Amino acid sequence: MAIDTRKGEQHSPEFLAINPNGKTPALLDDDVPVFDSTAILLYLAEKIGQFMPTGTPRARAEMYSWMMFVASGVGPYCGQAVHFRLFAPEPKEYALNRYDFEAWRHWELIEARLATQRYMLDEYSVVDMAVWGWARMIPRVLGSDEAWARLPNVKRLLDEINARPAAQRAEALKARFTFQDAVDDEARRHLFPSNLRLG
Protein backbone atom coordinates (compact mmCIF):
# COMPACT_ATOMS: atom_id res chain seq x y z
CA MET A 1 0.00 0.00 0.00
CA ALA A 2 1.23 3.49 -0.77
CA ILE A 3 1.47 5.83 2.22
CA ASP A 4 1.40 9.59 1.64
CA THR A 5 3.24 10.93 4.68
CA ARG A 6 2.38 14.54 3.81
CA LYS A 7 -1.30 13.65 4.18
CA GLY A 8 -0.66 11.88 7.49
CA GLU A 9 -1.53 8.38 6.26
CA GLN A 10 1.32 6.98 8.38
CA HIS A 11 -0.79 7.77 11.44
CA SER A 12 -3.80 5.71 10.33
CA PRO A 13 -4.80 2.72 12.50
CA GLU A 14 -4.19 0.38 9.55
CA PHE A 15 -0.61 1.55 9.12
CA LEU A 16 0.08 1.74 12.86
CA ALA A 17 -0.90 -1.94 13.05
CA ILE A 18 2.12 -2.64 10.82
CA ASN A 19 4.45 -0.01 12.29
CA PRO A 20 3.43 1.40 15.67
CA ASN A 21 6.14 4.06 15.22
CA GLY A 22 4.15 5.61 12.35
CA LYS A 23 7.13 5.88 9.99
CA THR A 24 7.83 4.56 6.52
CA PRO A 25 8.98 2.15 5.24
CA ALA A 26 7.08 -0.81 6.58
CA LEU A 27 6.21 -4.18 5.13
CA LEU A 28 3.44 -6.69 5.65
CA ASP A 29 4.73 -10.02 4.33
CA ASP A 30 1.65 -12.24 4.46
CA ASP A 31 0.86 -11.76 8.16
CA VAL A 32 4.37 -10.74 9.25
CA PRO A 33 4.80 -7.00 9.93
CA VAL A 34 8.34 -5.65 9.51
CA PHE A 35 9.28 -1.99 9.92
CA ASP A 36 12.44 0.08 9.47
CA SER A 37 14.45 -0.19 6.28
CA THR A 38 17.33 -2.04 7.95
CA ALA A 39 15.02 -4.63 9.49
CA ILE A 40 13.24 -5.07 6.15
CA LEU A 41 16.52 -5.64 4.28
CA LEU A 42 17.78 -8.14 6.84
CA TYR A 43 14.43 -9.93 7.02
CA LEU A 44 14.11 -10.32 3.26
CA ALA A 45 17.75 -11.34 2.78
CA GLU A 46 17.42 -14.02 5.45
CA LYS A 47 14.11 -15.18 4.03
CA ILE A 48 15.45 -15.66 0.50
CA GLY A 49 18.92 -16.73 1.59
CA GLN A 50 20.79 -14.16 -0.51
CA PHE A 51 22.84 -10.96 -0.16
CA MET A 52 24.24 -11.88 3.26
CA PRO A 53 27.70 -13.26 3.94
CA THR A 54 27.90 -16.92 4.82
CA GLY A 55 30.48 -18.70 6.82
CA THR A 56 32.53 -17.00 9.47
CA PRO A 57 31.29 -14.99 12.42
CA ARG A 58 33.77 -12.29 11.30
CA ALA A 59 31.89 -11.85 7.98
CA ARG A 60 28.55 -11.63 9.76
CA ALA A 61 29.93 -9.17 12.32
CA GLU A 62 31.25 -6.97 9.51
CA MET A 63 27.84 -7.01 7.82
CA TYR A 64 25.94 -6.20 11.00
CA SER A 65 28.40 -3.44 11.91
CA TRP A 66 28.03 -1.67 8.56
CA MET A 67 24.26 -2.17 8.54
CA MET A 68 23.99 -0.52 11.95
CA PHE A 69 26.38 2.21 10.83
CA VAL A 70 23.92 3.08 8.05
CA ALA A 71 20.89 2.70 10.33
CA SER A 72 22.18 4.62 13.33
CA GLY A 73 24.54 7.05 11.61
CA VAL A 74 23.96 7.71 7.92
CA GLY A 75 20.17 7.69 8.15
CA PRO A 76 19.66 9.92 11.18
CA TYR A 77 22.38 12.43 10.32
CA CYS A 78 21.27 12.68 6.69
CA GLY A 79 17.65 13.02 7.73
CA GLN A 80 18.44 15.79 10.20
CA ALA A 81 20.70 17.55 7.68
CA VAL A 82 17.79 17.68 5.22
CA HIS A 83 15.41 18.80 7.95
CA PHE A 84 17.55 21.69 9.12
CA ARG A 85 18.63 22.66 5.59
CA LEU A 86 15.13 22.72 4.08
CA PHE A 87 12.42 22.76 6.74
CA ALA A 88 13.51 24.13 10.12
CA PRO A 89 12.77 27.73 11.03
CA GLU A 90 15.56 30.15 11.84
CA PRO A 91 17.81 30.26 13.75
CA LYS A 92 19.30 26.99 12.60
CA GLU A 93 23.01 27.64 11.97
CA TYR A 94 24.22 25.50 14.90
CA ALA A 95 21.97 22.53 14.09
CA LEU A 96 22.65 22.65 10.35
CA ASN A 97 26.38 22.85 10.96
CA ARG A 98 26.26 19.83 13.28
CA TYR A 99 24.16 17.58 11.07
CA ASP A 100 25.83 18.62 7.81
CA PHE A 101 29.25 17.91 9.37
CA GLU A 102 28.14 14.49 10.63
CA ALA A 103 26.43 13.56 7.35
CA TRP A 104 29.64 14.38 5.48
CA ARG A 105 31.74 12.51 8.03
CA HIS A 106 29.65 9.37 7.63
CA TRP A 107 29.70 9.54 3.82
CA GLU A 108 33.46 10.07 3.85
CA LEU A 109 33.87 6.86 5.88
CA ILE A 110 31.84 4.99 3.28
CA GLU A 111 33.89 6.66 0.52
CA ALA A 112 37.11 5.48 2.18
CA ARG A 113 35.76 1.94 2.41
CA LEU A 114 34.72 1.91 -1.26
CA ALA A 115 38.07 3.35 -2.33
CA THR A 116 39.66 0.04 -1.36
CA GLN A 117 37.04 -2.43 -2.57
CA ARG A 118 34.15 -2.68 -5.02
CA TYR A 119 31.43 -3.28 -2.43
CA MET A 120 30.98 -2.55 1.26
CA LEU A 121 31.68 -6.24 1.99
CA ASP A 122 33.55 -8.79 -0.11
CA GLU A 123 30.57 -9.14 -2.44
CA TYR A 124 27.31 -7.34 -3.20
CA SER A 125 25.09 -7.46 -0.11
CA VAL A 126 22.31 -5.87 1.91
CA VAL A 127 24.89 -3.32 3.09
CA ASP A 128 25.23 -1.98 -0.45
CA MET A 129 21.45 -1.86 -0.73
CA ALA A 130 21.24 0.13 2.50
CA VAL A 131 23.93 2.54 1.28
CA TRP A 132 22.13 2.87 -2.08
CA GLY A 133 18.90 3.90 -0.37
CA TRP A 134 20.59 6.99 1.06
CA ALA A 135 23.16 7.58 -1.71
CA ARG A 136 20.34 8.29 -4.17
CA MET A 137 19.64 11.46 -2.19
CA ILE A 138 23.17 12.73 -1.58
CA PRO A 139 22.84 16.02 -3.51
CA ARG A 140 19.71 16.89 -1.51
CA VAL A 141 21.18 15.68 1.78
CA LEU A 142 24.51 17.45 1.38
CA GLY A 143 23.06 20.47 -0.39
CA SER A 144 25.11 20.26 -3.56
CA ASP A 145 25.54 18.31 -6.80
CA GLU A 146 29.27 18.85 -6.23
CA ALA A 147 29.12 16.23 -3.49
CA TRP A 148 29.88 13.60 -6.12
CA ALA A 149 33.29 15.15 -6.74
CA ARG A 150 34.17 14.39 -3.11
CA LEU A 151 32.49 10.97 -3.14
CA PRO A 152 33.47 9.36 -6.47
CA ASN A 153 33.44 5.80 -5.16
CA VAL A 154 30.02 6.22 -3.58
CA LYS A 155 28.85 7.54 -6.97
CA ARG A 156 30.43 4.52 -8.68
CA LEU A 157 28.49 2.17 -6.38
CA LEU A 158 25.29 4.17 -6.85
CA ASP A 159 25.59 4.00 -10.64
CA GLU A 160 26.32 0.28 -10.56
CA ILE A 161 23.30 -0.45 -8.37
CA ASN A 162 21.10 1.90 -10.41
CA ALA A 163 21.85 -0.30 -13.44
CA ARG A 164 20.53 -3.41 -11.69
CA PRO A 165 17.01 -4.45 -12.78
CA ALA A 166 15.82 -4.77 -9.16
CA ALA A 167 16.88 -1.19 -8.39
CA GLN A 168 15.16 0.03 -11.53
CA ARG A 169 11.96 -1.75 -10.49
CA ALA A 170 12.20 -0.15 -7.03
CA GLU A 171 12.68 3.33 -8.53
CA ALA A 172 9.77 2.76 -10.95
CA LEU A 173 7.39 2.25 -8.00
CA LYS A 174 7.36 6.02 -7.43
CA ALA A 175 5.75 6.59 -10.83
CA ARG A 176 2.83 4.32 -9.95
CA PHE A 177 1.56 6.62 -7.21
CA THR A 178 0.71 10.28 -6.84
CA PHE A 179 1.76 11.92 -3.61
CA GLN A 180 1.20 15.42 -2.30
CA ASP A 181 4.10 17.64 -3.40
CA ALA A 182 3.52 20.70 -1.29
CA VAL A 183 4.87 20.99 2.22
CA ASP A 184 2.06 23.22 3.46
CA ASP A 185 0.89 23.75 7.04
CA GLU A 186 -1.12 20.52 7.04
CA ALA A 187 1.84 18.52 5.69
CA ARG A 188 4.12 20.07 8.32
CA ARG A 189 1.66 19.01 11.01
CA HIS A 190 1.89 15.39 9.79
CA LEU A 191 5.61 15.36 9.08
CA PHE A 192 6.77 17.26 12.18
CA PRO A 193 4.26 16.58 14.96
CA SER A 194 6.76 17.82 17.55
CA ASN A 195 6.12 21.37 16.26
CA LEU A 196 2.64 21.22 17.77
CA ARG A 197 4.27 21.57 21.19
CA LEU A 198 5.62 24.98 20.15
CA GLY A 199 2.11 26.44 20.09
Distances 105 to 55, 130, 151, 157, 159 between C-alpha atoms, Å: 31, 17, 11, 18, 21
pLDDT of residue 80: 95
More confident residue, 191 or 163: 163
Identify how many contiguous H helices and E strands the chain contains and give both numbers: 11, 2
Distances 137 to 11, 35, 71 between C-alpha atoms, Å: 25, 21, 15
Q: Which CATH number fits domain 57-172: 1.10.10.10, 2.130.10.10, 1.20.1050.10, 1.10.357.10?
A: 1.20.1050.10
Residues 89-137: pLDDT tens digits?
888 999 999 999 999 999 999 999 999 999 999 999 999 999 999 999 9
Report the run of H or E that residue 74 belongs to, with start and end: none
- pLDDT above 70 (res 59): yes
CA distance from start to end of the chain? 33
For range 18-27, the mean pLDDT: 94
pLDDT of residue 199: 65
Residues 160-178: pLDDT tens digits?
999 999 999 999 988 888 7
Q: What are the domain boundaries of the chain?
A: 57-172
- pLDDT above 80 (res 76): yes
